A = this chain, B = another copy of it.
Amino acid sequence: MYKINENYLKLPGSYLFSTIGKKVAEFTAANPDKKIIRLGIGDVTLPLAPVVVDRLHTAVDEMGVKDTFKGYAPDLGYDFLREAIALHDFKARGVDISIDEIFISDGAKSDSGNIGDIFDVDNKIAVCDPVYPVYVDTNVMAGRTGEYNADLGKWSKVIYMPCTAENNFAPELPKETPDIIYLCFPNNPTGSTIKKAELQKWVDYALKSGAVIIYDAAYEAYITEDDVPHSIYECDGAKACAIEIRSFSKNAGFTGTRLGFTVVPKELKSGDIMLNSLWARRHGTKFNGAPYIIQAAGSAIYTEEGKKQTKDMVAYYMQNAKIIREGLTDAGYLVSGGVNAPYIWLKTPDKMTSWEFFDYLLNEVNIVGTPGSGFGPSGEGYFRLTAFGTYENTLEAMDRIKKL
């Protein structure tokens, strides 16, 4: 008799966005005349850049002609894309990453979930709290997290690193030594970043303690400040302790187009074993390459025109972020994020819980955001708004909030 993976049964339901959907639907049914503004989504709304659209069209034409048709892609990605990444994402920042350290994939979510495959079940993970749920949930599925305490909202074998106003939303080095450390900067959901000197401390800590860092840099394109690192490899020694995950979703609007990559440096070794080889084997055995047309489209964002067009998209969202950040500050809220990230993280007023504030905002000014408690226990009392709405709606939302 076959046996299922019982770890899946330990997962609590993921009710965050379904509960939001339900509450919004109920409100709309009761108040059909109210115009709801949604600032809860983490998905982009601007269309693909013209260079991307053009390259998609030419790539599609290539696929329709025998001489230029492409079958199976190279397992690890086309060289033309990996070369563009090595040059523009790394060499341009003084970081030397070779193309066989770059693995093209269908996105950062897949990679951040699948990367666990190359590690033993017996590893203790550390995560920021609040955190992108995929890091924890995929480790639950793998059997690394122990038991769930519903009252605390915590797993027994996970090391939580609280990120709250008290520490300026920057995690502190954990007291208990983890084996695998998940870091995400600029951060989802808090929008926080840390400076290069701070990130260097994490690299030094990982090297000293024998931990590996899974560094999620999906939002690096939103960094506006000079001393905030775009890649963990800007830190000395990071190639010997860190894997970096990148995405085309937020810098180029590929959330529905799917493209990402993961860097596994050859210096990253467990004894004699290169993690690069393990990930290459995983990639070659359980994945069959990202579509040619989409890899071609991805390479278009590294052209001069592509850089300009995607920079303009990011600037549009960051203008919204500024409006939200300043609007909330003017209205008396305690606000962080929104400077190097499309997320604005606010402290709920009057000691409201995250869900109380959700209801308050929905009922009073018809704005939908995301309760911070949905991202982890230390998110309680916080709330996330995103810059991915339209400029007009973002302005109107702030007007409504100011009148509260």
On A, residues with C-beta under 8 Å from B are 1-6, 8-9, 11, 14, 43-48, 50, 52-53, 56-57, 60-61, 63-66, 69-73, 106-107, 109-110, 113-114, 117-120, 122-123, 134, 137-138, 141, 179-180, 209-212, 253, 255-258, 270, 273, 275, 278, 281-282, 284-294
Nearest B residue to A213 by beta-carbon distance? B2
Q: Which of B3, B71, B258 contacts A256 (CB 8 A)?
A: B71
Can you show 30 pairs from A to B with CB atoms below 8 A apart? A1-B209, A2-B119, A4-B270, A4-B273, A4-B275, A4-B278, A5-B118, A5-B119, A8-B278, A8-B281, A11-B281, A47-B63, A48-B64, A50-B64, A53-B60, A57-B60, A69-B253, A70-B256, A71-B256, A72-B255, A73-B256, A106-B287, A109-B288, A110-B287, A134-B285, A138-B285, A141-B281, A141-B282, A256-B291, A291-B294
The 8 Å CB contact of A72, one of B48, B63, B256, B281, is B256
Q: Which residues of B contact A257 (CB under 8 A)?
A: 63, 291-293
User: When chains A and B are docked, how far (Å) is the Cα of A57 from the Cα of B180?
Assistant: 43
Q: Which residues of B are found within 8 Å of A110, using beta-carbon distances?
A: 286-288
Do residues A106 and B106 form an inter-chain contact, with CB atoms below 8 A?
yes
Are B120 and A3 in contact, CB atoms less than 8 angstroms apart? Answer: yes
Add 5 more A-B contacts to A4-B273, A110-B288, A257-B291 (CB < 8 A): A2-B210, A4-B118, A44-B71, A45-B71, A47-B66
Contact B45 A69, beta carbon cutoff 8 Å: yes
B residues near A3, Cβ cutoff 8 Å: 119-120, 122-123, 179, 270
Q: Is the CB of B256 within 8 A of A292?
A: yes
- Known A48-B64, A63-B256; contact A1-B179, beta-carbon cutoff 8 A: yes
Q: In the complex, A292→B122 CA distance in Å?
A: 38
